């Protein structure tokens, strides 16, 4: 066993405290990673505060992990000691179902094992990346290409793949008009990736407050959704709209901006069911879809793509004793654009 230092919460309203977690003994296919950086994802906050009602305490969140391999099991072939690696939202899956065979482990019919707050195959609760070390089976460990710094790479492991997967699936590229709703931790990465894929990118944000950033990240156009004129002006325009906002929006209004055969992909997880009129779908033969992170192969493809195009997340690095304050700022949309914990401070 490896004793790793970590930051955990012990209840929905407790603050983060330093503790230790036991990482399992290295099996033949396991990789021991010395974590260098861990991004803060909104899912971490929902889990730490038990907002989804399924949290097992104590919990160490963190599924945007970047680090360096410090030991490998006897049969590991994919990674070597010293390799720069990452871990995303899941650390295991059955490997045998149709989804797993199709490299879509995130949709494993037997449920992929979450990086934290899930039960591993050994029956123990998984604990995430706000920690100095983690043990993960080699298949679920990604290679971080040279040229991608570990701190800006960490958020790509969740935010990056959450955007890359639907953009790739629905064919964002030259000649395609793509809109990104929301310019937060997810949205800003989506703008960069969609632009690098060659699409004509529009940001739909509540205000024009982040317009300069949006244009710098590669958007060609930037509109405020608080202006009702925006919806009339952009009617029937987009081939693809990705919604990164986790609140219940007037989806019909956004659907009206889709062109013929256009698709609106829901990436946020709003509290209440999504309401949409059948007419919004019928008109222009539109689709409303969802997407959840991406498989391991596609996550590697995304990291390679980001390295090739010089794409990293925009980050604010914090020390581990600043996590509580960072959570409050994420909830208040007061971060440009992702917090990353420097795990050397744990
Ligand atoms: Zn996440
Ligand atoms: Zn499976």
Provide the angle, in degrees to the nearest 10, between the axes of the packed helices 159-169 and 296-308: 100
Of the residues 290, 318, 336, which one is the last residue of a structural domain?
Answer: 290
Give strand pairing partners of 264: 241, 288
Q: How far is the CA of 106 from the centre of ligand 2 (A)?
A: 8
Considering the domain architecture, whether residues 192 and 274 belong to the same structural domain is answered as yes
The domain in which residue 225 lies consists of 160-290
pLDDT tens digit sequence for 225-254: 999 899 999 999 999 999 999 888 999 999
The answer on 142 and 93 residing in a single domain is yes
Cα of 295 from ligand 2 centre, angstroms: 11
- Residue 270: pLDDT band (50, 70, 90) is confident
- Element containing residue 280 per DSSP (H, E): helix 278-282
Whether residue 254 is found in the same domain as residue 115: no
Neighbours of ion ligand 1 (CB under 5 A): 41, 43, 158
CB within 8 Å of 228: residues ≥ 6 apart: none
CATH number at 310 reads: 3.90.180.10
- The count of other CB atoms within 10 Å of the CB of residue 103 is 15
Q: Domain with 256 in it: what CATH number?
A: 3.40.50.720
Contacts of 213 (CB under 8 A, 6+ apart): 183, 188, 314, 336
If one counts the domains in the chain, the total is 2
Instruction: Give pLDDT, residue 269.
Output: 82
Encode pLDDT of 54-64 as tens digits: 999 999 999 99
pLDDT tens by residue, 311-328: 999 999 999 999 999 999
Give pLDDT tens digits for 180-232.
Answer: 999 999 999 999 999 999 999 999 999 999 999 999 999 999 999 999 899 99
Report how far ligand 1's centroid is from the alpha carbon of 228 (Å): 31
In order, the DSSP letters of 262-275 are EEEEE-S--SSPPP
Examine the domain organization and report whether 67 and 128 are in the same domain.
Answer: yes
State the distance from the centre of ligand 2 to the C-alpha of 137, rounded, in angstroms. Answer: 15
**CA 229 to ligand 1 center in whole angstroms:** 33
pTM of the complete model beyond 0.75 = yes
| Smallest-distance ligand from the CA of 129 | 1
CB 115 within 8 A of CB 88: yes
The Å distance, Cα 120 to ligand 2 centre, comes to 14
Instruction: Mark whether 276 and 298 lie in a shared domain.
Output: no
Instruction: Give the integer Cα–Cα distance in Å for 261 and 202.
Output: 18
83: how many CB neighbours lie within 10 A of its CB? Answer: 17
C-alpha 313, offset from chain centre: 11
Q: Band of the pLDDT at 121, cuts 50, 70, 90?
A: confident
Q: How confident is the model at residue 107 (pLDDT cuts 50, 70, 90)?
A: very high
- Rounded Cα–Cα distance for residues 169 and 178 (Å): 13
> Residue 262 corresponds to which tokens in the numbers above?
């256009």
Please tell me whether residues 15 and 154 are part of one structural domain: yes
pLDDT at 145: 98
Question: How close are the terminal C-alpha atoms of the chain, in Å?
Answer: 19
- For residue 112, the CA-to-ligand 2 centroid distance in Å is 7
């Amino acid at each position: 066993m490896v004793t790793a230092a970590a930051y955990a919460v012990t209840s929905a309203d407790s603050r983060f405290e330093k503790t230790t977690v036991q990482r399992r003994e290295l099996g033949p296919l396991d990789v021991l990673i010395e974590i260098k950086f861990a991004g803060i994802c909104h899912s971490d906050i929902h889990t730490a505060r038990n907002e989804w009602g399924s949290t097992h305490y104590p919990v160490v969140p963190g599924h945007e992990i970047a680090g360096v391999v410090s030991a490998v099991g006897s049969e590991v072939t994919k990674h070597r000691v010293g390799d720069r690696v990452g871990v995303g939202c899941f650390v295991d899956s059955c490997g045998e179902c149709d989804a797993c065979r199709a490299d879509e482990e995130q949709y494993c019919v037997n449920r992929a094992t979450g990086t934290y707050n899930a039960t591993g195959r050994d029956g123990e609760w998984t604990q995430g990346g706000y920690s100095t070390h983690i043990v993960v089976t080699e298949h679920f460990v990604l290679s971080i290409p040279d040229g991608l710094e570990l701190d800006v790479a960490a958020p790509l492991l969740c935010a990056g793949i959450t955007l890359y997967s639907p953009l790739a699936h629905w064919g964002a590229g030259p000649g395609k008009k793509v809109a990104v709703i929301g310019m937060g931790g997810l949205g800003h990465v989506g703008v960069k990736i969609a632009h690098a894929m060659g699409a004509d990118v529009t940001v739909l944000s509540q205000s024009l407050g982040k317009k300069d950033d949006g244009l710098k990240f590669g958007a060609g156009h930037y509109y405020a959704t608080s202006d009702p004129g925006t919806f009339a002006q952009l009617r029937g325009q987009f081939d693809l709209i990705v919604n990164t906002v986790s609140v219940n929006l007037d989806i019909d209004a956004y659907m009206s901006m889709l062109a013929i055969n256009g698709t609106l992909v829901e990436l946020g997880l709003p509290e209440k069911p999504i309401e949409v009129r059948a007419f919004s779908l019928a008109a222009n033969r539109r689709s409303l879809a969802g997407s959840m992170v991406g498989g391991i192969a596609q996550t590697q493809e995304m990291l390679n793509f980001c390295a090739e195009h010089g794409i990293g997340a925009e980050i604010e690095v914090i020390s581990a004793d600043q996590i509580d304050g960072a959570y409050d700022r994420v909830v208040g949309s007061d971060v440009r654009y992702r917090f990353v914990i420097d795990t050397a401070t744990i």
